[in-house]
Amino acid sequence: MRVICAGWGRTGTRSLKYGLQTLLKQPAYHMQNVLLNKRDAKLWHNIIFNKPKKINWNAIYNGYGACLDFPSCNYYKELMKEYPDAKVILTVRDENSWIKSWNVLNNQIINSITFRFFSKIPFTSFYIQKKIHNEAILGKNGMFKGLKTDDELKKAFLNWNQSVIDHVPSDRLLVYKVKDGWKPLCEFLNLPEPNIPFFHKNKTKNMGHMSRFIGSMFVISILAVIVAIVLTIYFLI
């Protein structure tokens, strides 16, 4: 592990993921890994709910050069101790644009019919991810401390950013906005600047496309179930 990212989701973490993968020439661990990988979801579920005294971080991060987004950022202090040579990046953005982006994600993706449908199927990665989301992010013991209103969440967001700045030694920390591109990132990591444009993934304005994609997954799944039922009935008659 060479880079620990302590910024919350919706601060450009997916764009930074691709940037770090390009620079480090290693995969970067993102919340999507938890959502799409049942094994990882189970590992995080154990960490968050059972709170083991000794955590085998390499079981999660082996082979990865960086980690970003929830739930990794929840544990940046522990990860700093586990990987003492790793540098820390805090992704930040204006709190008003952050809450707008978070609400779009929450309303169009997390609360979508598709996500709610799959998250009710026991033992799937979606089911485990929903529990992790509720506990590690939304819950009283999570990042949001059970807060609900936009103003409360904006304040919590700013407080978290300041707490990271206060905790991490300045020579080990980069406070970073993805709109600043390669230059500050490469200078901080002492790596050459790639001759390609910086990545800009998962923009708020594009969340509608993702929502429609997830919705299409739901429709396809329902059609597949219907076809399976029809075929079963056909061959039984």
Q: Is the pLDDT of residue 23 over 60?
A: yes
This prediction has a pTM of: 0.84
Q: Indicate if the pLDDT at residue 150 is higher than 80.
A: yes
User: Who wins on pLDDT, 9 or 216?
Assistant: 9
The dihedral sign for the CA sequence 16, 22, 25, 30: positive
User: Strand ranges (DSSP E) for the chain?
Assistant: 3-5, 28-29, 66-67, 87-91, 173-176
Instruction: Report the pLDDT value the prediction gives residue 75, as an integer from 0 to 100.
Output: 98
pLDDT at 232: 76
- CA 209/CA 206 separation, integer angstroms: 5
Contacts 24+ apart (CB under 8 A), 39-46: 41/125, 41/128, 41/129, 41/132, 42/128, 44/71, 44/128, 44/132, 44/136, 45/128, 45/131, 45/132
Q: What is the average per-residue pLDDT within 59-76?
A: 97
For residue 90, the 8-state DSSP code is E
Give 237's pLDDT tier (boundaries 50, 70, 90): low
Mean residue pLDDT of the chain comes to 88
Domains and CATH numbers, the chain: 3-236 (3.40.50.300)
Q: Model confidence at 230, in pLDDT bands (50, 70, 90)?
A: low
Q: Could you tell me how far CA 191 lies from the centroid of its own chain?
A: 25
**Cα-Cα-Cα-Cα dihedral sign, residues 42, 45, 50, 56:** positive
User: Could you tell me the two tokens for 65?
Assistant: 């050069």
Greatest mean pLDDT range, 17-26, 140-149, 202-211? 17-26
Question: 38-52, 57-71, 208-222: which range is least confident on average?
Answer: 208-222
pLDDT > 70? residue 81: yes
Nearest-angstrom CA–CA distance, 237 and 225: 19
Q: If pLDDT is split at 50, 70 and 90, which confidence band does 148 have?
A: confident
pLDDT for 159-208, tens place per residue? 999 999 999 999 999 999 999 999 999 999 999 999 999 998 755 555 44
Q: Residue 218: what pLDDT?
A: 47
User: What does the pLDDT read at residue 109?
Assistant: 65
Contact 78, 51 (CB under 8 A): no
In the predicted model, is pLDDT for residue 32 greater than 70?
A: yes
What does the alpha-carbon distance between residue 209 and residue 158 come to, in Å, rounded to a whole number? Answer: 29
Out of 94-98, 122-126, 185-189, 209-213, least confident range: 209-213
Residue 10 is given by DSSP the state T
**pLDDT > 90? residue 124:** no
Select from 67, 61, 118 the least CA-distant residue to 88.
Answer: 67
